[in-house]
Each structure stands twice: as C-alpha cells, then as structure tokens.
Chains A and B, each alone.
Chain A
Amino acid sequence: MKELAGRLTALDPDAGAAVRVIAYFDTLAESRAGLEALVRGAAVLAGCPARLVDVERRVHVRVEPDGRRQDSDLPPDPDWPSAALVPDGVPALWLERAGAAEPSVVDAVILERAAGALRVVLDRTRGRAPLSPADDPALVETVLDPTAAEGARLHAARRLGLDPDDPAGRARAVAPFGGRPRILRVRREGGPADGAPRGRRGGRLAEGTSRGRQDGRPDDGTSGDRRDGWSGDGTSGDRRDGGPGHGASRDRWDGRPTEAELPGGRVGVGPAVPVLGLPGSWDGARTALRFTAGGSPQDLGERVVYADDLGGIALLAELIAPGAEPPPDVRDVERAAADSPWMLATLHAVASTASLRAAATGINVHHSTLQDRLTHAEALLGWPVRTPRGRLRLHLALTMRHLARG
C-alpha cells in the first residue's frame, strides 16, 4: 500500500492542517522524540527550513524541509516567524520563511506546538539553563580573577572543563553586554568545537598529551605559533615578541567562535590565552565590549568586537571614561548629527568602508549625493572628512563618541 494514501509534506493552510500539526507534535512528544526530530517536524510541516538556537544551552539545530540536518552559522533573520521557549523569552525557534509579514495560522500552530515540545525535551535532556559547569558563575569568576590564588584558578578551570596542563590549550573570555562573563575554549585546528571535549577529564590524559608533544610529535602549527606569541601570563597587550598588534598575525584568526557559540546582543571577545592568562583576556573582552554597538541609528557599529582586532585603538578606551565630558570633536559630531537625520549613518559609512564609492553603496545613495552630504557635514564639523587625516579624525571622533556613551 506504499505511497497510495499521500505523504506528510507541506500541508495546505486549511483547518485540517492545524489538527494534523497538533496530532504530529503531540505524538512526537508522547514518544519522547529528540530535538532534531522536533525541529525536523517543524521544517517538514511548514515546508521551509526550521532552526532552533538556544544560546544559553548551546543548542543549535537546523533542518531543511526534506529532512536533512544542515546547521548554519548565519544569524536568524528577525523577520522570520519565530517563537520563544518560555513566555517573554528571546526567540529560539524560527521558520525560515522570508517575506511573511504575519505568520499564517498553520505556521503559528507549528511554532507553538514545536516550541512547547522542545522546551520539555531541553529541560529533560539538558537541564534548566545554566546546565553545564561552564555556566557556573562562581567558577568563571574565579578563573577570571587576577587576585585569586593560582591554585584556585587552576582548580576552577579544570572544573570548567579546561585543561591547564595542555600547553597548546587556549581559551577566550567573553563579555556580553548586561550578561554574565563567559569562557570559550578555542577550537583546535581540525579539532572539535568548544564544549564538545568537555567530558575529557583528569590530569592523566592531559599529561599524556603534553608528553607526546615533548617527545617530538609534530605539534600543529597553529598552537605552536600561538605559544610562541604569548607571554607566560598571556595578559592582553603584553606581547614580547615585538610583533604587530593583536590579530595582525594570521594564526590568530582561526579558533574564533562561530556566531552560534556567542551570546546574542553586544559582545566583547578577549584574546585567546592559556588558562592562567584568562584574567587578561577578560580585561581585553571588557575593553572590546566598549567598542561594540547596538545597531540602532544612534548607535551604529559592530555588535561583536574582538580585542585581537583593536590594536592601538584600544588605548582610546583608557582615555575616554564613560559618561565623562566628551572631547570637542565628539561634540562637533553630536551637533552635526542633530542637524540631519542621515548624518550619523553617512559619517559612519565614510569611516567604516574602504572608499567613498563603497560608502555610497552601503547607505544606498548616489555617489554625487554622498559628495553633497559630505560638503554639508564638513561645514558643520569644521574639518574635512575626505582627506586621510580628516577621515582618521572622523573615525576617532565616532569611536570616542561610542566610548563616552558607555
């Protein structure tokens, strides 16, 4: 009788469809189906990809409508229909349906039923967040505290699943805006992502690893370079190899967390350091956080900033205290911003793109319009923004404006 009676594919948006959706998820829940089966159900019934992102529990599942699991590092589109796992929570389950102004009745039923079933499974299998020792605030605090005894920091690090005995092991401190500090293990080249090796435990295995390397086993180039590049305490800004600023050498670009591994909202990410260097990484992360932006028209800039990328610009953070009287150039920018609604976006585009042409494209105006605007802006600011020196001054002014706003 195979295939005679029809298949479970995208359902028509009729009343019967909602009933079948409910029956589908209720049965999955009764038979204790896992996360992927639930997300797959949403994708199959909706006929578009579905994804679950639970940052707190580090869960990321994305399934195509044909049932294939295919995760993505790209952030969810805020316009997609979505549901939170808890009332008033952040969106966690999305149907990747572009251009849907209002979710259809069937989409709404799918989201509601799937989110309810997912919440139960997450609570059952992952515990209520925070679930892993990696989210234990007391342990994280100890590892990041430069005044804590070294032994206490090592002990806390081990309980967090970090391996201080691995000479190639690196981690980053992460500072979310308004959130608790986090620690992310740095992914080894070709190795598992952060979190996966958490279960590996105990000094014996770690000793074995380091002995293996001392015995002349070829180290992977990445970690070797890193080790050479970092001083013993790994404090940010304390490089002794005389190299260029952080992030300049190619090897530091890998081992960056994916979008999904980072918390949502504004995030500062510290440099990758050995375990005992994490207080320095935390300093770097907090500094980097001050350079992040919320993304509103009044607050343009990057949501995620790496301390590695700041270089000398980080020094500005020491000069500008949040809430202090802003320097004159910042006052000029504020005055110009008050003049025209396009001003901040235009200045930001000029400061953050490689050419005026790219800036014009970035804010969707004609090149000549941009030129007219900049003539106007230069008159208000009192200094040019189209010369190299003037552009640097603009960039610094915008950055200091950011730092002063806190």
Chain B
Amino acid sequence: MSMIPPPFDPELAAALEALKDMLPQQLTMDDIAAMRQGPGIEMLAQLDLTMGGFFEVEDRLVPGPEGEPEISLLICRPAAPATPGPLPVIYHVHGGGMVVGNNRVGVDAPLAWARELGAVVVSVEYRLAPEHPHPAPVEDVYAGLLWTAEHADELGGDPERIVIAGASAGGGLTAALALLTRDRKGPRPIGQVLLCPMLDDRNDTPSAHQMAGRGVWDRTANETGWTALLGELRGWPDVSEYAAPARAKDLSGLPPAFLDVGSAETFRDEVVSYASRLWQAGGVAELHVWPGGFHGFDGFAPQAAVSRDCREAHVRWLRRLLGE
C-alpha cells in the first residue's frame, strides 16, 4: 500500500484550498467546544427549510428512549402534495463526528430529494458525545424512528415506505439503526442511505493511514470522534455493532443500501468493505466511490461536476427504490 493517497479531483482540490481556513483540521478533544460554536451554526440559520414554501416545517418533541429525555424531531411535509395518499418518509440522521451538530445539519440534501420525489422528511436530534457516550446517540435515533413509524399517518407519511438516511456520523448511525430495527424486530425501513458513513472505530484501514493529515476528516479527527463516543473501549474487541456497524458479524436481512464515499478520504476502505460484506451476506447494495472526493465533498462544493453527479445518483437510486 502506498502512503501516497489518490489525488483530489481538481475542482474539489481547489474548493478545499479556498476553504481550508474554515475547515476543521485534525480535530482533538479540546477542539470540540470551539467547533460547536463554529461558522456552521450561522449557515444553518440561513437555510430555508421550507425550500421556497414547498414544505411546512414543524419542530416536535417526542418521547426519547425509556427513562431518557424527550428528543426533538424536525418535520418537513410538502405543503401541497402532488399525489394523493400517504407519502414516502425520509428519516434523516445528521452528521458531525458524533460530537457536534443538530437536526438542521445536512438536512438540505434530504429536503432536495423529498422535493424531487414528494416525500416527508423527519430529521432527528440526538444527544452528543462525549457528554452522552454510546448508546445514547443511537438509542435516541431509534426512539425517533419508532415515533415516526407509529405516527406516520399523522404526518401524511406511509409507515411502509420509510427510508433511513444519513451522512458521515449520521451514516454510521443510520447503518446501526438498520441493524437495531432488524434485531429488535422494530419498524422495517425499505432502504438505508449511507453517505460517506462513519462505520469503524478501529480507524486503521489503508485509507485512514493514507489520508492522515489530509482532507476534511482525517485519522486524528476520526480517533477523536470515536473516542468521544466509546471512551477507552475504542478499538478494543468488544465494541458494540450498534456503535460501530463494521463490527457486525451478520449483515444479512438488512434493507437495500445505497453507499457512497470519496476515493480520497479516511472512510473509503471501510465503506467499500461494508458494501462487499452486504453483498456477501446476500444483500442488495449500490456503491459509488467518487474519484478524488474528500469527506463530504458534495456538501462543501456542490457545484463541482463530480458533486453534481454524486447528488444525481442519490435521487436516481431513491427513485428506483420507491418505484417511481
């Protein structure tokens, strides 16, 4: 294995260079507090959640896991659905390395899909590490899905057509959610969208080493995120698969998966490996490895040619999944 990583796509490299002073670099535990105050919050405040009046937006407190606090769901419903009857539901889990973010983070992507497809978006807020280590985040995410499935009718949604989706840490939690719903015989999502998902606490794949010190979420930052979630357990043999889905022994019986990842990012090898294991378990999965993509590239540089292709691929897959 060469320690020289694949080059960034030219347009992505340029965006990275122009944005580098605004991006987190080699995040450590001491940086988490500062990051929570970072420029991202201001940007989220500017996001028009109605997408120009297409959605009706509501924040709703719903029961959390048993004995735990309530959780907040961001619910965005088409104000004037084009089709009668219950709509598909996209249940979104935000990213942020398990340590930052809220249910607005990255929600513009599922809102864009839902606008295209005529769907309801529910985005869940979960407690963050390190104050709330595993299993708090994934249990909150599970509780939110339970409520969503039970109250889908109320939202104009179809409980039989819930797609779970997330990027980065949200992608990892989404994969864990798929395992949890299978094992607890909970609601059955019809698909899982895992965008550059954070799956493996061991943080020792070739791509994790290759990308050390480069790109957006490097090996140091990844170690910080996992350590916040798992404490001293991180990397040891008995980490739960509901924390780190790459640990799961059995990947059979899961809903069809869409996975994507950049070729120039820490998570490349763990995502490719997870897709392979889904196929080996007899599962249905579509995998895209975007050449020269750094972590979250389509969010940082949505206009780049490769980002546009990437985002179109998401919608095409959802269209096929939903049978449109």
Interface residues of A (CB under 8 A from B): 1-9, 20-21, 23-28, 30-34, 36-37, 40-41, 43-44, 65-68
Contact = CB atoms under 8 A, between A and B. Distances in A.
Contacts of B216: 1, 5
Contact of A1 (B10, B97, B303): B97
Interface string B220-247: 0100000000000000000000000000
B40 interface: yes
Which size class do B's interface residues fall under?
A: 35 or more
A1 B168 contact: yes
Given A1-B296, A31-B8, A24 B217 contact: no
Interface stretch (B127-135, B275-283, B304-312): B304-312
Interface string B192-214: 00011000000000000000000
19 contacts: A1-B95, A1-B295, A2-B95, A2-B195, A2-B196, A2-B295, A3-B108, A5-B23, A5-B216, A7-B299, A8-B301, A23-B17, A28-B10, A33-B10, A40-B11, A40-B303, A43-B303, A44-B303, A68-B308
A66 B216 CA distance: 22
Nearest to B43: A6
Contact of B301 (A7, A20, A36): A7
B14 A33 contact: yes
Contacts, number: 125
A21 B18 CA distance: 7
Interface string B1-44: 00000011011011111111011100000000001001110010
A7 B297 CA distance: 10
Interface string B87-120: 0000000011100110001101000000000000
A2 B106 contact: yes
Given A2-B295, A6-B39, A67-B305, A37 B19 contact: no
B11 A33 contact: yes
A30 B299 CA distance: 23
Q: Give 9 closest A-B pairs by Cβ, nearest first.
A: A67-B303, A2-B296, A33-B10, A3-B299, A31-B10, A4-B40, A20-B18, A27-B14, A27-B17
Contact of B38 (A2, A4, A8): A4
Of the listed residues B22, B101, B195, the one surrounded by the most CB atoms of chain A closer than 10 A to its CB is B22
A4 B37 CA distance: 11
Given A2-B296, A3-B296, A8 B303 contact: yes
B273 to A, nearest CB: 21
Nearest to B15: A8
Contacts of A36: 305
A44 B302 CA distance: 10
B152 to A, nearest CB: 27
B300 interface: yes
A5 B38 contact: yes
B19 A4 contact: no
Contact of B11 (A9, A20, A37, A68): A37
B105 A4 contact: yes
A365 B18 CA distance: 52
Contacts of A44: 303
A8 B300 contact: yes
Of the listed residues A1, A6, A34, A44, the one surrounded by the most CB atoms of chain B closer than 10 A to its CB is A1
Given A27-B13, A31-B13, A2 B299 contact: yes
Contacts of B101: 4
Nearest to A8: B15
A8 B17 contact: no
Contact of B14 (A31, A67, A68): A31
B46 to A, nearest CB: 11
A269 B198 CA distance: 62
A314 to B, nearest CB: 48
B167 interface: yes
Of the listed residues B17, B105, B216, the one surrounded by the most CB atoms of chain A closer than 10 A to its CB is B17
A26 B16 CA distance: 12
A118 to B, nearest CB: 14
Contacts of A31: 7-8, 10, 13-14
A20 B13 CA distance: 12
Contacts of B97: 1
Given A8-B301, A31-B7, A1 B43 contact: no
A24 B308 contact: no
A32 B14 CA distance: 11
A222 to B, nearest CB: 35
Contacts of B196: 2
B239 to A, nearest CB: 21
Contacts of B105: 2-4
Contact of A41 (B11, B19, B95, B96): B11
A7 B302 contact: yes
B167 A2 contact: yes
Given A5-B39, A27-B17, 9 more contacts: A2-B195, A5-B216, A6-B300, A21-B18, A23-B17, A30-B13, A33-B10, A37-B305, A66-B302
A1 B19 contact: no
A24 B196 CA distance: 24
Contacts of B300: 2-3, 5-8
Contacts of B304: 37, 40, 67
Contacts of B303: 8-9, 40, 43-44, 65-67
Contact of B10 (A7, A32, A67): A32
A3 B301 CA distance: 9
Contact of A24 (B18, B38, B95, B299): B18
B259 to A, nearest CB: 15
Nearest to B101: A4
